[in-house]
Amino acid sequence: MNLHYALAMLLIQAVNLLLMVIGIPITAIDVWLGKPEPWLWENSDDTPPASWSKWRTFVWLALRNPVANLRFVPGVSGVGRPLFYRTWVWTVDGYSEEFYVKIGWMSNGYPACSWGGGRGY
């Protein structure tokens, strides 16, 4: 990943972190009152089901997918930008688990910064 893309990703993640912190109380109040979240913090592509508890909805919107619509702000997304993506398998005493790390822009142009179990898609 060349330097200007790395700096762009760091800037996007820094803005995302700041907006996440601002959005936690906003989302908590909106979920508690049953109001829709402000556009920046809603997740129209992956909306939590109405059957979920308020706590689970809050965790989904404020912690797991914070500031979901930041990707729609001009300049944040871009098709053709680089993506660092790796998977590996850890085996301990015969038990295997797959893990991944993904940083950069996915093929749809949306920025990604995630890691965890599985393949990440």
Per-residue pLDDT tens for 75-117? 899 888 888 999 999 999 989 999 999 999 988 898 988 889 9
Whether residue 9 is found in the same domain as residue 30? yes
Same domain, 51 and 13: yes
- Report how many domains make up the chain: 2
Query: What proportions of the chain, in percent to the nearest 5, are helix, strand and coil?
Result: 40, 25, 35
Q: What is the pLDDT of residues 41-66, one digit of tens each?
A: 888 788 889 899 999 999 998 988 88
Question: Where in the sequence is the domain holding 13, given as residue range(s)?
Answer: 3-72
Mark whether 14 and 68 lie in a shared domain.
yes
Judgement on whether residues 41 and 11 belong to the same structural domain of the protein: yes
Question: Could you tell me which residues come within 8 angstroms of residue 23 by beta carbon, excluding any fewer than 6 positions away?
Answer: 37, 40, 41, 62, 66, 67
60 in a structural domain: yes
Assign 1 a pLDDT band (cuts: 50, 70, 90).
low
